[in-house]
Structure 1
Amino acid sequence: MSYELIALLMFSSMMLLLLTGQRVFAVIGFVGAVAAYFLWGTGGIEIPFTATIKVMKWYPLLTLPLFVFMGYMLAESRIADDLYKMFHVWFGPVRGGLAIGTIFMMVIISAINGLSVAGMAVGATIALPELLRRGYDKIMVTGVIQAGSSLGILVPPSVVLVLYGMIARQPVGNLWMAGVFPGLLMAALFILYIVVRCALQPSLGPALPKEERENYTLGQKIALAKAGLIPLAIFIAMTGLFLTGVTSLVESSAVGAVSSILAALLRGRLTFGVLHGTTRKTLGISAMFFWIITAALCFGAVFDGLGAVRSIERLFLGDMGLEPWQVLLLMQLTFLGLGIFLDDTAMLVIVAPLFIPLAGALGFDLVWYGVMYTITCQIAYLTPPFGYNLFLMRAMAPPEVSLTDIYKSVWPFVGIMLFTLLIIGLFPGIATWLPNYYYSK
């Protein structure tokens, strides 16, 4: 049996097992380990063992649980609630102002969490009921919260980019810096959409009534700003220490985790329940990612040993005569197709052994490609029928928001994400300039 046929058999077996509903990491790891045994005998057993040891010794991976802990601590202690109240008061007088403030809130929450679920929880339970009570269009604001929360996997410290960095063997610091400008660009486009939409249809996002605005004095507004900016202060301190070279990436994540505990303590909200809930959720998320990385390394090692990447490169560039950018376009279309049915981690683990080395072999910058992949994951979060954020919104939204409303709400934002993906594809410097500039100095 040829190596190409073996690779195809592995891939088809993996897809078939995924249809049975088994966990992604279990399927990937099982197929990789079984293939290694049948290909190389008892010596092949060393491949999953080596992958496990590599993960256990991967020092930068310590950033993952520390950043997840920081985000959950700020969410569980309701410090994120203060953030929304600040934006509620400061942006309320503007048409669509509360929706704009929600996007700003999502950017800051993304910068302290690195996951979509935290922004989604705050947005759906705190922002959405308030927006609906203020007369905002339920379809528009449902889309705002789902799209805004997806910024958590692009804006640093993105956990998805950590996972990509581990598999692609790229520095996590470079990937995080590469996500800054694309993330801010996408947030700005979301805000522009809200401004234009509410200018054309004022009933979609009415401003706060004048009498309610007058209930807050300037001193009260400043006090709210101070309380709401605690998460931002933590992020600035954490990243500032890293960028100035005072701390390493892992040490910066520890600074963020400790700072979140101190912030909860100073606000009088550090209870046993908060600490227990934060620790339990952090452990669950971290364990899931560690298993996924281990399975991906095992599967990728077998694929690399088979020479599958070189075979695919020869097929596209030699036999089919495609240009590198055409192959890249096919890869992104594949990601978009998989995103209709799979979440971001499953997509990465399934295609990482093929697409990441292939992108490097075609001469593309793997840091830039990581940003392209992550934006595609954001689109996958929102695309029916199995978008991750769609189900989260359905579970958390008030009864008056139906599943049909949730599906309708995402399409303008999916269009904005596709437009951002096109811009980053045409102008890679938007993603690569900051890491290149910083590390060149």
Structure 2
Amino acid sequence: MSYEMIALMMFSTMMLLLLTGQRVFGVIGFVGAASALLLWGDGAIEMPFNASFVLLNWYPLLTLPLFIYMGYMLSESGIAGDLYEMFHVWTGSLKGGLAVGTIGLMVVVSAMNGLSVAGMAIGASIALPELLRRGYDKIMVTGVIQAGSSLGILVPPSVVLVLYGMIARQPVGKLWLAGALPGLLLATLFVLYIVVRCRIQPNLGPTLPEEERQMALGEKLKLLRAGILPLLIFFAMTGLFLLGVTSLVESSAFGATAATLAALVKRRLTRHVIEETIRKTLAISCMFMWIILAALCFGAVFDGLGAVRAIENVFLDRLGMGPWEVLLMMQLSYILMGMFLDDTAMLVIVAPLYVPLVMSLGFDPVWYGVLYTITVQIAYMTPPFGYNLFLMRAMAPPEVSLSDIYRSVWPFVAIMILGLALVTAFPQIALWLPEMYYG
């Protein structure tokens, strides 16, 4: 049997086992370890152990629990809720203003946490009940929260881009800067869609009642100060890193410490907040660690088979595809895998195969990291099995049905496809900021 066929069988077996509902890291690790033993005998038993040492020697991996801790501390202590209250008051006079404020909340939460799950949790628990209570259309606002939370894996400090940087051997600072403008572009397109649609159909997003808008300027400024605090933490953290004052790990430690001090200053650092923050941080961090460990084992076997070169031969030599056709095929494969896998699992399984191919085709790996991330956002929201769809179903109130959730995402999926097309056609949208900063 050829090595290409063995690699195809490994990948097919892994996808088939994932359909059984088993844990992602268990399936990936099992297929990798079992394939190594069948191919190379008892000596291959060292491959999983070597993968664990590679994981433990990844110094930048320390940033993951620290960034996650920072986001959950700001969320559990209610500082993210203060931020929504600020958007609530300052945008309430606009038709669809609370939905616009929700997008703003999602962008800032993304910047604080780097994960879509945290943004979804905050949006579903804080924003969604308030929007429904004020007469907003449930289908539109459900889509708003799903689309806004998906920005968590694109807006810096994106945890996914940190992982991509490790796998693709690209500077995390460049990737963060590359994701900033596309993330803001998508957020702006979301806001324009909400404003235009609510102007055409005012019943979808009514303005805030006059009596609630009649707030003293002092009260508005007080809310503004409360909302600015998380922004100050974010800009201080990323600014110190980009200026070269701190390393990536030191920057994440600064963010985690600043979030804790902010909760302490606001007298919200209770025992419950600390326990919930640590518990959720530990759960998410361990999930990342197990998936990466299993994927490193799987990837080591793939590398041993020469799968990267085999894929290149199939696409370029046998099928005669051009570089852009190959790129389109890779993006479509991400959307298909997004029906079954989360962003981290897709990244650690496929990126070691695709990134060398992307570089051999002459594309910029930093630009491709942004394309990958936007494509994963689309996959997250695409029925029937998009990851965000089921997260929203688990968190939404009973009056929001699964069919409502499915119907809510299509306008925002179309906007994301437009954003992806713009970044693909004009790479400088992603590359201008890192090129300007790094010279």
Give the TM-score taking structure 1 as reference length: 0.97
Q: What is the root-mean-square deviation in Å for CA atoms of aligned residues?
A: 1.3
Unaligned runs of 5+ in 1: none
1:196 and 2:189 are equivalent in the alignment:
no
* Deviation of the 1:439 alpha carbon: 2.1
Equivalent in the alignment of 1:183: 183
Task: After TM superposition, list the pairs within 5 Å mapping 1:210-225 onto structure 2.
Answer: 210-214=210-214, 216-225=215-224
Question: Residue 385 of structure 2 aligns to which amino acid in structure 1?
Answer: F
Equivalent in the alignment of 1:375: 374
Contact 1:167–1:296 (CA<8 Å) still a contact in 2? no
Mean alpha-carbon deviation: is it higher for 225-234 or for 355-364? 355-364
Between Structure 1 and Structure 2, how many residues are aligned?
Answer: 439
Equivalent in the alignment of 2:338: 339
Residues 274-327 of structure 1 deviation map (CA, whole Å, 9 limit, x = unaligned): 101101111111111111112222211211121111112112111221101101
Q: In the aligned structure 2, how far is the partner of 1:301 from the partner of 1:348? A: 15
Contact 1:95–1:198 (CA<8 Å) still a contact in 2? yes
* Deviation of the 1:435 alpha carbon: 1.8
Equivalent in the alignment of 1:61: 61
Equivalent in the alignment of 1:129: 129
Contact 2:165–2:175 (CA<8 Å) still a contact in 1? yes
1:422 and 2:421 are equivalent in the alignment:
yes
Task: After TM superposition, list the pairs within 5 Å mapping 1:301-312 onto structure 2.
Answer: 301-312=300-311
1:159 and 2:186 are equivalent in the alignment:
no
Question: Residue 424 of structure 1 aligns to which amino acid in structure 2?
Answer: V
Q: Which secondary structure state, in structure 2, belongs to the residue aligned with residue 410 of structure 1?
A: helix
Equivalent in the alignment of 2:97: 97
Q: Which secondary structure state, in structure 2, belongs to the residue aligned with residue 229 of structure 1?
A: helix
Equivalent in the alignment of 1:299: 298
Give the TM-score taking structure 2 as reference length: 0.97
Equivalent in the alignment of 2:225: 226
Change (3 A) 1:292 1:341: closer
* Deviation of the 1:46 alpha carbon: 2.6
Residues 12-66 of structure 1 deviation map (CA, whole Å, 9 limit, x = unaligned): 2212222222211121122112222232333322322221111101111111000
Contact 2:338–2:387 (CA<8 Å) still a contact in 1? no
Q: In the aligned structure 2, how far is the partner of 1:143 from the partner of 1:388? A: 14
Q: In the aligned structure 2, how far is the partner of 1:174 from the partner of 1:41? A: 42
Residues 165-198 of structure 1 deviation map (CA, whole Å, 9 limit, x = unaligned): 2222222222111110110000000001011101
Task: After TM superposition, list the pairs within 5 Å mapping 1:323-338 onto structure 2.
Answer: 323-338=322-337
Task: After TM superposition, list the pairs within 5 Å mapping 1:40-55 onto structure 2.
Answer: 40-55=40-55
* Deviation of the 1:159 alpha carbon: 1.4
* Deviation of the 1:251 alpha carbon: 0.4
Contact 1:167–1:293 (CA<8 Å) still a contact in 2? no
Contact 1:343–1:380 (CA<8 Å) still a contact in 2? no
Task: After TM superposition, list the pairs within 5 Å mapping 1:224-303 onto structure 2.
Answer: 224-303=223-302
Identical aligned pairs, as a percentage? 73
Q: In the aligned structure 2, how far is the partner of 1:300 from the partner of 1:170? A: 18
Contact 1:87–1:102 (CA<8 Å) still a contact in 2? yes
Equivalent in the alignment of 2:357: 358
Task: After TM superposition, list the pairs within 5 Å mapping 1:392-407 onto structure 2.
Answer: 392-407=391-406
* Deviation of the 1:201 alpha carbon: 1.0
* Deviation of the 1:350 alpha carbon: 3.5
Mean alpha-carbon deviation: is it higher for 236-245 or for 295-304? 295-304
Contact 1:158–1:176 (CA<8 Å) still a contact in 2? yes
Question: Residue 431 of structure 1 aligns to which amino acid in structure 2?
Answer: A
* Deviation of the 1:393 alpha carbon: 1.6
Equivalent in the alignment of 1:77: 77
Contact 2:139–2:404 (CA<8 Å) still a contact in 1? yes
Mean alpha-carbon deviation: is it higher for 163-172 or for 219-228? 163-172
Q: In the aligned structure 2, how far is the partner of 1:288 from the partner of 1:399? A: 29
